[in-house]
Amino acid sequence: MKPFTLLATFAAEPAKTQIAYLHGVDIAVIAIYFAIVIYIGFYLKGESNTSEDFFMAGREMTMWIAGLSFVSANLGSLELMGWAGSAYEYGILATHWYWIGAIPAMLFLGLVMMPFYYISKVNSVPGYLNLRYGPGTRAVSGISFAFMTILMSGINMYAMAVVMKVVLGWDLNFSIWVSSITVAVYVALGGLRSAIYNEVLQFFLIWIGSLLIPILGLIEVGSWHNLEAKIYERLHTHDYVHLWSTLGHFRDNPMGVNWFGIIFGLGFVVSFGYWTTDFLVVQRVLAAKDLRSAKMAPILGSALKMCVPFIVILPGLLALGVLPYKLVGTTVAMHTGQHTYNEVLPLMLVRYCGPGLLGLGVTALIAGFMSGMAGNVSAFSTVWTYDIYAAFLNKNATDQHYVKMGRWCTLLGVLVSVGTAYIVQHAASIMDYVQQLFSFFIAPLFGTVIVGMLWKRATKEGGFWGLLVGTVTSISLWLWVKFDPHALRYVALSPDAKEMAENIYRALWAWSAGVIVTVIVSYATQPRPVAELEGLVYGATKIPKEYDEHWYQKPILWAGIVFVAFLALNIIFW
């Protein structure tokens, strides 16, 4: 039984109204936060006068700052609201996007890929592709990534506006413009350094504010076992509280996916693609002060990432057990005045938070919005300036000119993002929409990067056509299902598959097509001399040794500890 069939029929539902009001103390908390982030931008403006400072934060971030920023850039309002809604819709299966869909990839980035990114001193992932494959591949990846970051930024804007609309009754347009202008100001002033420092602040605010819901929710239901009982009482199934035991077949779980898709589609293609090639998160690690810090930052981030379901997934599960609302998809809600999956988190926030606490909770969501949007905008600014403008449009400008371009395109990126925010309103689920974007742009990119990094024989022609064919394959499959819904059974290999399964399998097909084409074209074209691949490919690069004073400082040790904890959690919630 779907969660939204728990209560009465649509007609019995009242239209949505404002469900909370800010008190003076709540307004003060939010105002103080806005003042702090703007101050940080102005304070750091004087330290962002060169392109290295503006786009790469001077490459002087410690392991802790880079690691916290690495996680915070991903922990935007998109994550907080989107996956809380997905947990309501799909149950604990949404946790896969935090564990199997993140931890192995983050550890792989730290131990295997960061040495190449870091020692080549590239400013972006498209920059690495330029060194490995040439300007053609750089252009395809740079343009597609810039397009994706603008769309992702728009999603964060929309998510924030939904919070303000549901909780406080604020106009959607007002919420989007006020928060977006704030982000534009502090990123344009202080560049990546300002974005990183604000993301560290936002990390703590997100956790402090978001912890209110799971703690107070568990107090209300009594325990995890009581919550399981409440969900079973309402839905008459245990499918919503098990990670793996329901994945034997597509029809056995609410998500309509199977274990093969979760492990290989999500756990390998989507996860590794996002965490190792999405410049939004990789940029934070590239700003580390040395190689050890660059390797440890993702490992630290993976430990923190494992804890995130407590503040994101658990609220959605609590909503299944305690919310007196019937939540529905966006299309139905627009015609019946009901609440949607995407509004689970603000509804839970209002349920548990009174004056003062409500302001703290709303501030946490605003911080999440700004963190996610600032990450996308700063990444867009860097890729546009380095990999499109400086690479193809104006190759001989001064350093100061590129800094000015970075500032202006930050503002432009925000304006374009505002337009894309309104597109998201038509998505039934925010996270389904995001997974579509990942399958379009991230999955093919990962195939091109990983083949080029691990295989000396890969050629520039192979990289270019592999990336292009992978991207076209993903978009073509999406259009096929869009115009013929019955095609889903062929894309996801089952008549019982659902939309999320389609996203996962589409990514797997796109990655496979890109890799196959890269290999075939590479064998048909002339490879570069091995001597030219130093610093870019395994087998042609001497990896710098780490000279840690103590055994407990070694990244491989901490990666092992995180991986053991990851396995234990999957077994516990099997």
pLDDT digits over 478-527, tens only? 999 989 989 988 998 888 888 888 888 999 999 999 999 999 999 999 99
Q: How far apart are CA 79 and CA 85, in angstroms?
A: 10
pTM of the model: 0.80
Structure confidence by residue, pLDDT tens digits, 278-336: 766 777 777 778 888 888 888 988 999 999 899 889 988 998 888 765 555 544 444 44
DSSP letter at 552 equals: G
Which carries the bigger pLDDT value, residue 111 or residue 339? Answer: 111
CATH 3.40.50.720 for domain 3-429: no
pLDDT at 334: 43
Q: Of 346, 339, 343, which Cα lies nearest the Cα of 14?
A: 339
Structure confidence by residue, pLDDT tens digits, 157-211: 777 776 677 666 777 777 777 767 777 776 666 666 666 777 777 778 778 777 8
End-to-end CA separation in angstroms for the chain: 21
pLDDT at 494: 87
Q: How far apart are CA 48 and CA 293, in angstroms?
A: 22
Q: What is the mean pLDDT of the chain?
A: 79
Percentage above 90 pLDDT, the chain: 15
pLDDT at 14: 39
Size of the chain in residues: 574
* Sign (positive or negative) of CA dihedral 371, 372, 376, 377: negative
Structure confidence by residue, pLDDT tens digits, 513-567: 999 999 999 999 999 888 888 878 887 777 666 666 677 778 889 999 999 999 9
Structure confidence by residue, pLDDT tens digits, 15-62: 445 556 677 787 788 788 778 877 776 777 666 666 666 665 556 777
Max mean pLDDT among 3-17, 90-104, 190-204 falls in 90-104
Domain boundaries, the chain: 3-429
pLDDT at 427: 58
DSSP letter at 100 equals: T
Residue type, 151: L
Could you tell me how far CA 44 lies from the centroid of its own chain? 26
Q: Read off the pLDDT band of 572 (50, 70, 90).
A: very high
Q: How many CB atoms lie within 10 A of CB 523?
A: 12
